[in-house]
Amino acid sequence: MKIERCVALVTGANRGLGAAFARGLLAAGAAKVYAAARDPAAVTLKGVVPVRLDVTRPDDVAALARELGDVTLLVNNAGIGEFGPLLAEGALDSLQRQFETNAAGPLRLVQAFAPVLARNGGGAVVNMLSVLSWLALPGRSGGYSASKAAGWALSNALRQELKAQGTALLAVHAGFIDTDMARGAPGPKLDPDDVVRQALAALEAGQAELLADAATRKVHAGLAGDPPVYIGTGA
């Protein structure tokens, strides 16, 4: 995948990591960046093409795929994080919202845009996942972690299916990134622009997976630990 002259669609591009993806893609020479947002007026970055998209709305997604026939790179970045215990009231509703946005949303986008990517020579998909795909912060991230674990499983299955049409899929796992989503989280956070630089380099190198920081690599290594990291008390 060459970033230069690619035509990218970034979901949730109005703020946070999505805005950093849009900036980074332009800086790396993308021919066009469609910056998708629930409110396109919230996209302030110059040089991108704002488009309206709520990833939980199947009709919106299908209409956008019919409209944007030149896309060669889909960045599934949009996501929500609702943090609290699974045993609390409302946890099931919260889980469903997070599944709909973080797991079903990216799948819906890939289903709609796979034919577009195929027609344009294959291209690539980036799915933005998390270190919390592999463990839960006790009493805090059960629902979010479940949605990102589902996103991970879907990414692994989709990568195999997309291979037949020459489309690559990069899954990006990261610890806390300095955006609104991680505002309440303690400790140092990753610079969104650095995560994007790493993701674009991984795409160009043809990697299937990017573990963007030391904490994420440690948790990944701990999956084979004794006990495995996800049995423990959390990150």
Ligand X SMILES: NC(=O)c1ccc[n+]([C@@H]2O[C@H](COP(=O)([O-])OP(=O)(O)OC[C@H]3O[C@@H](n4cnc5c(N)ncnc54)[C@H](OP(=O)(O)O)[C@@H]3O)[C@@H](O)[C@H]2O)c1
Binding mask 213-232 for ligand X (x = CB under 6 A): --------------------
Supply 137's token pair.
């912060």
Annotated active-site residue 230? The verdict is no
- HSE (CB half, 13 Å, CA atoms) of 92? 1
Instruction: Give the C-alpha distances (Å, rounded to integers) separating 180 from 65, 183, 185.
Output: 28, 5, 10
C-alpha–C-alpha distance, residues 209 and 148, integer Å: 14
DSSP state of 98: H
Annotated active-site residue 144? The verdict is yes
Binding mask 22-61 for ligand X (x = CB under 6 A): ---------------xxx-------------xxxx-----
DSSP state of 45: -
Binding mask 139-178 for ligand X (x = CB under 6 A): -----------------------------------x-xx-
C-alpha–C-alpha distance, residues 230 and 172, integer Å: 19
Task: Give the number of residues in contact with ligand X, rule: CB under 6 A.
Answer: 29
Annotated catalytic residue, options 2, 34, 148, 189:
148
| Residue with Cβ nearer ligand X (56 or 120) | 56
Identity of the amino acid at 156: N
Residues that bind ligand X (CB under 6 A): 11-12, 14-18, 37-39, 53-56, 77-81, 101, 128, 130, 174, 176-177, 179-182
